[in-house]
Chains A and B, each alone.
Chain A
Amino acid sequence: MKRWKLFLPLAFFLILCVLLYKGLFLENKTELPSALLNNPLPTFQLTTLGNPEQTVTREDVTGEVFLLNVWGSWCPTCRAEHPYLLGLQEQGVRIIGLNYKDDRTEAQQWLRHGGDPYQFNIFDPQGKLGLDLGVYGSPETFLVDKAGVIRYKHVGVVDNRVWQETLKPRYDALQKEAAP
Chain B
Amino acid sequence: MNPELGLFALILATCLAILQSVAPLFGSYSGRLPWMAAGKWLAAGQFVFVLLSFICLVVAFLTDDFTVSYVANNSNSLLPDIYKLTATWAGHEGSLLLWILTLAGWGMMVSVRCDKLPPELSARVLSVLGMVSVGFLLFILVTSNPFARILPFPPQDGADLNPLLQDVGMIFHPPVLYMGYVGFAVVFAFAIAALLGGQLDSAWARWVRPWTTAAWCFLTLGISLGSWWAYYELGWGGWWFWDPVENASLMPWLAGTALMHSLAVTEKRGLFKSWTLLLAIATFSLSLFGTFLVRSGVLTSVHAFASDPERGMFILAYLMVVVGASLALFAVRAPQMGSRITFSLLSRETLLLVNNILLAVSCATVLLGTMFPLLVDALDLGMISVGPPYFNALFVPQVLLLGLALGIGILLNWKSGSFSKLLHQVRWIALVSALGGVAFALFYAERFIVSEALAMAVVLWLVLTAGRDILDKTRNARQKMSFMASLQKLPASYLGMHLAHLGLALTIIGAAMTSGYSLQRDLRMSPGDTAWLGQYQFRFDGVTQMQGPNYVTNIGIITILDDQQQPIAVLQPEKRVYSVRGMPMTEAGIDPGLTRDLYVALGEPLGDDSWAVRLHVKPYVRLIWLGSIFMALGGLLAVCDKRYRIRLKKNKTNLKPGIALGGQV
Contacts and interface: CB of A to CB of B under 8 A. Distances in A.
Contact of A137 (B335, B382, B383, B524): B383
A103 to B, nearest CB: 11
Contacts of A10: 324, 327-328, 330-331
A27 B324 contact: no
B612 interface: yes
The main secondary structure of chain A at its interface with chain B is: helix
B592 to A, nearest CB: 22
Given A10-B331, A137-B373, A23 B584 contact: no
B316 A135 contact: no
Chain A interface size band reads 35 or more
Interface of A: 1, 3, 6-7, 9-10, 13-14, 16-17, 19-28, 74-77, 79-80, 83-84, 86-87, 101, 109, 112-115, 127, 130-131, 134-138, 155-157, 160
Interface stretch (B145-153, B173-181, B290-298): B290-298
Looking at A26, A131, A137, the one whose CB has the most chain B CB atoms below 10 A away is: A137
A10 B387 CA distance: 29
Contacts of B334: 6
28 contacts: A1-B274, A1-B335, A3-B335, A6-B331, A6-B334, A10-B324, A10-B330, A13-B285, A17-B319, A17-B320, A19-B371, A20-B292, A22-B374, A23-B296, A24-B316, A25-B309, A27-B298, A74-B387, A76-B234, A76-B236, A76-B241, A77-B300, A112-B522, A113-B604, A115-B604, A131-B382, A137-B383, A138-B385
A13 B581 CA distance: 41
Given A3-B335, A6-B335, A76-B243, 18 more contacts: A9-B330, A10-B324, A13-B324, A16-B371, A19-B378, A21-B316, A24-B313, A79-B236, A83-B584, A84-B583, A86-B584, A112-B522, A112-B603, A112-B612, A113-B604, A113-B612, A137-B300, A137-B385
Contacts of B324: 10, 13-14, 17
B563 interface: no
A98 B504 CA distance: 40
B298 A23 contact: yes
B203 interface: no
A105 to B, nearest CB: 10
A6 B274 contact: yes
Nearest to B612: A113
B377 A136 contact: yes
Nearest to A20: B316
B371 A134 contact: no
Interface in B346-405: 371, 373-375, 377-378, 382-383, 385, 387-388
Given A114-B604, A136-B377, A27 B522 contact: no
Given A87-B582, A112-B522, A157-B300, A19 B309 contact: no
Contacts of B301: 76-77
Interface of B: 234, 236, 241, 243, 274, 278, 281-282, 285, 292, 296-302, 307, 309, 312-313, 316, 319-320, 323-324, 327-328, 330-331, 334-335, 338, 371, 373-375, 377-378, 382-383, 385, 387-388, 522, 524, 581-584, 601, 603-604, 612, 614
A19 B375 contact: yes
A156 B300 contact: yes
A130 B383 contact: yes
Nearest to B297: A27
Q: Which 4 A-B pairs have the closest CB atoms?
A: A10-B327, A115-B604, A22-B378, A23-B298
A28 B309 contact: yes
Contacts of A84: 583
A20 to B, nearest CB: 6
Nearest to B312: A24
A16 B370 CA distance: 12
Nearest to A17: B320
B635 to A, nearest CB: 27
Nearest to A24: B312
Contact of B385 (A13, A14, A21, A101): A101
A19 B385 contact: no
Contacts of B614: 113
B316 A155 contact: no
Contacts of B243: 76
A92 B522 CA distance: 27
Contact of B522 (A17, A113, A156): A113
Contacts of A134: 383
Contact of B327 (A3, A9, A115): A9
Nearest to A130: B383
B314 to A, nearest CB: 11
Contacts of B331: 3, 6-7, 9-10
Contacts of B373: 136-137
A44 to B, nearest CB: 16
Nearest to B307: A27
Contacts of B377: 23, 26, 136
A27 B327 contact: no
A67 to B, nearest CB: 18
A14 B297 CA distance: 20
Contacts of B582: 87, 160
Nearest to B328: A10
Contacts of B319: 17, 20
Nearest to B301: A77
Nearest to B374: A23
Looking at A23, A74, A114, the one whose CB has the most chain B CB atoms below 10 A away is: A23
Contacts of A6: 274, 330-331, 334-335
A23 B371 CA distance: 10
Nearest to A82: B584
Contacts of A138: 385
A1 B277 CA distance: 15
B374 A26 contact: yes
A61 to B, nearest CB: 21
A76 B302 CA distance: 7
A115 B385 CA distance: 25
Contacts of A19: 371, 374-375, 378
A156 B300 CA distance: 6
Nearest to B334: A6
Nearest to B367: A16
A88 to B, nearest CB: 12
A130 B302 CA distance: 22
Looking at B298, B328, B603, the one whose CB has the most chain A CB atoms below 10 A away is: B298
B603 A115 contact: yes
A25 B664 CA distance: 46
Contacts of A130: 383
Contact of A155 (B234, B236, B300, B330): B300
A22 B316 CA distance: 11
Contact of A109 (B282, B302, B316, B522): B522
